[in-house]
C-alpha cells in the first residue's frame, strides 16, 4: 500500500498554485467524500463489516442533518479544532459551516479506517494514510475556504498574496517548506556555541572536547553520542537550552561526537563502520585524552542504539569501558516503534535494499519528509497556511532551524539498521547479530543505566524506551533508573532546568520482573512502572546530573587545555563537519 506523503502533497499544491488556472479552481469548494478511503481499502484488500459501515453511515447522516438545521437556524457551530480558532472562522457563517462540515467528514473517514477488519499493523497503515488525506483536505489549506487568509488579502490590498507566492517559489527552489527564518541562525555563531576544541577526526566524525566551566571536574569524562540522522547541535542549541553547556557547568569533562554529513564518498559505509570507526574509536580517544579507564557513555535516539551496540562489542572483546550509560529516547527493543511502523515492512525494506544496500545515499530530504509526515498539521500544512496563503515570514526558532538542517545516511548502513532493528528486532536477542566481528549481547554491558523516555513521543514511545531496562545491566538491575518526561521526542529532552517548565515522573521501585507477585504478572512492566510513578514539576536534568555525579569518580583539577600530545586540537568547536548541509 502506497503511503500518502504530506510533503509531496504540499509540493503538488505549490506546483498547482503557480498555474494561473488553478487559482480559479480554488474557489470551487469541493466536499470531502469517502471515495479516497474506499479506493485505499480496495488497494489494501481490506473491508469494513457491512453492519459497522451502515452504523457509521447512519450516524454521519444524523449529525450532518443536525449541522444543516443549525446552519439554517443561524446557529454558529462550535469549532474545537485549533486550526479554526481564529475569530474569522466564527464570524463568517459560511466559513464556520465549512469547517464544521470538514470536521464531521473527517470524523466519518477516520471512523471508517478504525472499523477496517485487518491485522493491527495493516490497520495502522490504513489509518495513517487516511489521516494524511484528511489533513491535506482541510479548508484552512486553501485560499477559497480560509477566511483568515481572505481577510489578510483584503487588509493588505493583495500584498499578502504577492508575498505568499514569493515565499512559495523560494521554497520550491529549496525543495522544502521553510519552517523558520533561516537567516537568523548560523552554526557556531548563535547555535552550537559552547566553547571547545575538535581533538580528533576521521572519515566518520569529529570529536569535540568542551572547555571546562568549573575549577575542578569529575575524573570520569562524559562522552555524548547524538543521532547520526540529525546534527549534534540539538544538544547545544543556545546557551539557555543547551544540554552540553548544562553538563559542562555541572563539573563534567564533556566530549561529543559530531557526525559527518555523508556525501557520495561514504556511499558504501556500513553499520559496522559506524560502530567500530565511530563509537568504539570515540571511546578510545576519550579515554586516552582524559586518562580515565572509564567513561560515562551517553546516547540520544539512534546515537544510543549505536553507543549500546559499541559497548556490547567491547564487552565481547573483554572490555567494560562504561562507568554508566545514559540513553535518551532510544530504542533497543523495536517491538513497538510507534507510528513509524507504517513505513516498515518486508516490501518497503526490500525496496530500500535493492536501491541502496550495495552503495549510495539515503537523502536527508527524504528522511526529513518521513518525519514531517508524522505531524503534517504542525510541520507541513501550518506553514502552507502561514507562509503562502497569508504571506507571512516564518519567525526565527532554533529548534525548527535545526529540524531543517537534514543529514544524509549511507545506504548500506541505513538498510542494515532498517532490517535488523525495525523489521526483525534482532538487536535485543543475545548473540543473534554479529557487528564488527563480535556477537552482540546488550546484557553483557556491565554499567548502571539512566533511561529517559518522553510521554508523548511519536518516534520512540516511552514504553518502548522503558524496554531497555530489561535488556541492560540485568545482574545489577536495581542500579538502573528510568525517568519519563512530559512532551515529545525533542521538546521533552530539551527542557532546561533553569526554565522550571513541564514535569517528569520517577519510580524508585525496581523494574518489574523476577520476584514480582502473581497479582501483577499480567500487568505490562511499563504500565506497572507508571502506575507507581510520582510526578514532579520542572526538568529531569538535575536528576540526570546527580546520576552522572554518582558515577563520575573523584574531583580533579580541570584540564588547562584540550586534547593531548597524541591528540592535539585541530580547530575550535563546533568544527567543520556540522556545518556541511545536505542540500
| Residue 558 φ/ψ, nearest 5 degrees | -65, 140
For residue 33, is pLDDT > 70? Answer: no
CA dihedral (149, 150, 156, 161) in degrees, to 10, reads 70
Please compute the mean of the pLDDT values over residues 39-45 and round it to a whole number. Answer: 67
Q: What is the pLDDT of residue 176?
A: 86
Give the tens place of pLDDT for each residue, 91-123.
989 999 999 999 999 999 999 888 988 888 888
Residues 271 and 204: their CA atoms lie apart, in Å, by 12
For residue 221, is pLDDT > 80? Answer: yes
Share of the chain above pLDDT 90, in %: 76
Cβ contact 285:446 at 8 Å: no
Handedness of CA 482, 488, 494, 499 (dihedral sign): negative
Cβ contact 462:484 at 8 Å: yes
Q: What is the pLDDT of residue 18?
A: 47
Looking at the annotation, which residues are catalytic? 301
| HEC profile of 359-407 | CCEECHHHHHHHHHHCCHHHHHHHHHHHHHHCCCCCCCCHHHHHHHCCC
Q: Which helix (H) or strand (E) holds 175?
A: none
Quick one: which of 154, 510, 119, 482 has its CA closest to 327?
Answer: 482
Quick one: which of 429, 449, 453 has its CA closest to 441?
Answer: 429
What's the chain's average pLDDT? Answer: 90
Q: Domain 196-363+408-579: give its CATH code.
A: 3.40.50.1820
- Tell whether omega for the bond before 361 is within 30 degrees of 0, i.e. cis: no
- Among 307-311, 362-366, 508-512, top mean pLDDT goes to 307-311
Residues 450 and 153: their CA atoms lie apart, in Å, by 53
Q: What is the pLDDT of residue 374?
A: 84
Q: What is the pLDDT of residue 17?
A: 45
Residue 227 backbone zone (phi > 0: left; psi -120 to 50: alpha; other: beta): beta
DSSP code at position 461: -
Segment among 32-36, 82-86, 131-135, 247-251 with least mean pLDDT: 32-36
Alpha-carbon distances of 492 from 175, 259, 409, 458, rounded to whole Å: 29, 23, 25, 12
Quick one: which of 140, 252, 154 has its CA closest to 194?
Answer: 252
For residue 81, is pLDDT > 60? Answer: yes
Residues 393 and 467: their CA atoms lie apart, in Å, by 42
Share of the chain above pLDDT 70, in %: 90
Cβ contact 391:159 at 8 Å: yes
Query: Is residue 523 very low, low, confident or very high in pLDDT (cuts 50, 70, 90)?
Result: low
Q: What is the pLDDT of residue 23?
A: 37
On the CB side of 204, how many CA atoms lie within 13 Å of its CA?
A: 21
Give the tens place of pLDDT for each residue, 459-500.
999 999 999 999 999 999 889 999 999 999 999 999 998 888
Residues 285 and 267: their CA atoms lie apart, in Å, by 25
Q: What is the pLDDT of residue 122?
A: 83
> Cβ contacts of residue 236 below 8 Å, gap of 6+?
191, 192, 193, 194, 242, 243, 244, 245, 256, 574
- β-bridge partners, 484: 453, 505
Per DSSP, the residues of 406-438 read ---EEHHHHHHHIIIIIIT--TTSTTT-EETTE
Alpha helices (H) in 197-242, listed in sequence order: none
Residues 102 and 90: their CA atoms lie apart, in Å, by 14
Domain ranges, ordered by start, for the chain? 6-153, 196-363+408-579
Query: Is residue 218 very low, low, confident or very high in pLDDT (cuts 50, 70, 90)?
Result: very high
Strands 481-485 and 295-300: unpaired
Q: What is the pLDDT of residue 517?
A: 41
Residues 356 and 408: their CA atoms lie apart, in Å, by 12
Residues 562 and 570: their CA atoms lie apart, in Å, by 10
Exposed e or buried b per residue across 223-251, where buried means at least 16 C-beta atoms within 10 angstroms of its C-beta? bbbbbbbbbbbbbbbbeebbbbbbbbbbb
Segment among 16-30, 406-420, 546-560 with least mean pLDDT: 16-30
| Residue 531 φ/ψ, nearest 5 degrees | -60, -30
Per DSSP, the residues of 540-579 read SHHHHHHHHHHTS-SEEEPPSSSS-SSS---EETT-SGGG
Cβ contact 387:171 at 8 Å: yes
Give the tens place of pLDDT for each residue, 417-452.
999 999 999 999 999 999 999 999 999 999 999 999
Q: What is the pLDDT of residue 15?
A: 53
Amino acid at each position: 500500500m502506497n503511503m500518502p506523503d504530506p510533503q509531496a502533497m504540499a509540493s503538488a499544491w505549490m506546483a498547482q498554485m503557480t498555474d494561473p488556472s488553478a487559482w480559479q479552481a480554488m474557489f470551487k469548494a469541493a466536499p470531502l467524500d469517502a471515495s479516497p478511503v474506499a479506493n485505499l481499502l480496495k488497494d489494501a484488500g481490506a473491508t469494513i463489516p457491512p453492519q459497522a459501515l451502515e452504523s457509521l453511515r447512519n450516524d454521519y447522516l444524523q449529525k450532518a442533518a443536525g449541522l444543516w438545521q443549525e446552519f439554517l437556524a443561524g446557529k454558529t457551530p462550535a469549532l474545537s479544532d485549533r486550526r479554526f480558532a481564529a475569530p474569522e472562522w466564527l464570524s463568517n457563517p459560511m466559513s464556520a459551516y465549512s469547517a464544521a462540515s470538514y470536521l464531521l467528514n473527517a470524523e466519518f473517514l477516520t471512523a471508517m479506517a478504525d472499523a477496517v477488519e485487518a491485522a493491527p499493523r495493516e490497520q495502522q497503515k490504513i489509518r495513517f494514510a487516511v489521516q494524511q488525506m484528511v489533513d491535506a483536505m482541510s479548508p484552512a489549506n486553501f485560499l477559497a475556504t480560509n477566511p483568515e487568509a481572505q481577510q489578510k488579502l483584503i487588509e493588505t490590498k493583495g500584498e499578502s498574496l504577492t508575498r505568499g507566492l514569493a515565499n512559495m517559489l523560494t521554497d520550491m527552489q529549496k525543495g522544502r517548506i521553510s519552517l523558520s527564518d533561516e537567516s537568523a541562525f548560523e552554526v557556531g555563531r548563535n547555535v552550537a556555541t559552547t566553547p571547545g576544541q575538535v581533538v580528533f577526526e576521521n572519515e566518520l566524525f569529529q570529536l569535540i572536547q568542551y572547555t571546562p566551566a568549573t575549577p575542578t571536574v569529575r575524573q570520569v569524562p562524559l562522552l555524548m553520542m547524538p543521532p547520526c540522522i540529525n546534527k549534534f547541535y540539538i544538544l547545544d542549541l543556545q546557551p539557555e537550552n543547551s544540554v552540553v553547556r548544562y553538563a559542562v557547568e555541572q563539573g563534567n569533562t564533556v566530549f561529543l561526537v559530531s557526525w559527518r554529513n555523508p556525501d557520495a564518498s561514504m556511499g558504501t559505509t556500513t553499520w559496522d563502520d559506524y560502530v567500530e570507526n565511530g563509537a568504539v574509536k570515540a571511546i578510545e580517544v576519550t579515554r586516552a585524552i582524559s586518562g580515565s579507564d572509564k567513561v560515562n557513555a551517553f546516547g540520544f535516539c539512534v546515537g544510543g542504539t549505536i553507543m549500546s551496540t559499541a559497548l556490547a562489542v567491547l564487552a565481547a572483546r573483554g572490555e567494560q569501558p562504561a562507568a554508566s550509560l545514559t540513553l535518551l529516547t532510544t530504542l533497543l527493543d523495536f517491538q513497538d516503534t510507534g507510528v513509524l511502523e507504517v513505513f516498515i515492512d518486508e516490501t518497503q525494506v526490500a525496496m530500500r535494499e535493492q536501491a541502496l544496500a550495495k552503495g549510495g545515499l539515503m537523502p536527508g530530504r527524504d528522511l526529513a519528509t518521513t518525519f514531517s509526515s508524522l505531524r503534517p498539521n504542525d510541520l507541513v500544512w501550518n506553514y502552507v497556511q502561514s507562509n503562502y496563503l497569508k504571506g507571512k515570514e516564518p519567525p526565527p526558532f532554533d529548534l525548527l532551524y535545526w529540524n531543517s538542517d537534514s543529514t544524509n545516511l549511507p545506504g548500506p548502513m541505513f538498510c542494515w539498521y532498517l532490517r535488523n532493528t525495525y523489521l526483525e528486532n534482532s538487536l535485543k536477542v543475545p548473540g543473534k547479530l554479529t557487528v564488527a566481528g563480535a556477537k552482540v549481547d546488550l546484557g553483557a554491558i556491565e554499567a548502571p543505566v539512566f533511561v529517559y523516555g518522553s510521554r508523548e513521543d511519536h518516534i520512540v514511545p516511552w514504553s518502548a524506551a522503558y524496554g531497555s531496562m530489561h535488556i541492560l545491566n540485568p545482574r545489577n538491575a536495581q542500579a538502573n533508573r528510568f525517568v519519563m518526561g512530559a512532551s515529545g521526542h525533542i521538546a521533552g529532552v530539551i527542557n532546561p532546568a533553569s526554565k522550571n517548565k513541564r514535569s517528569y515522573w520517577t519510580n524508585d521501585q525496581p523494574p518489574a520482573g523476577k520476584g514480582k507477585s502473581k497479582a501483577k504478572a499480567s500487568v505490562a512492566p511499563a504500565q506497572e512502572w507508571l502506575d507507581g510513578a510520582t510526578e514532579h514539576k520542572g526538568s529531569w536534568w538535575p536528576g540526570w546530573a546527580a546520576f552522572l555525579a554518582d558515577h563520575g569518580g573523584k574531583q580533579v583539577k580541570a584540564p588547562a587545555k584540550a586534547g593531548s600530545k597524541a591528540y592535539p586540537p585541530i580547530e575550535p568547536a563546533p568544527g567543520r563537519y556540522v556545518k556541511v548541509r545536505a542540500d
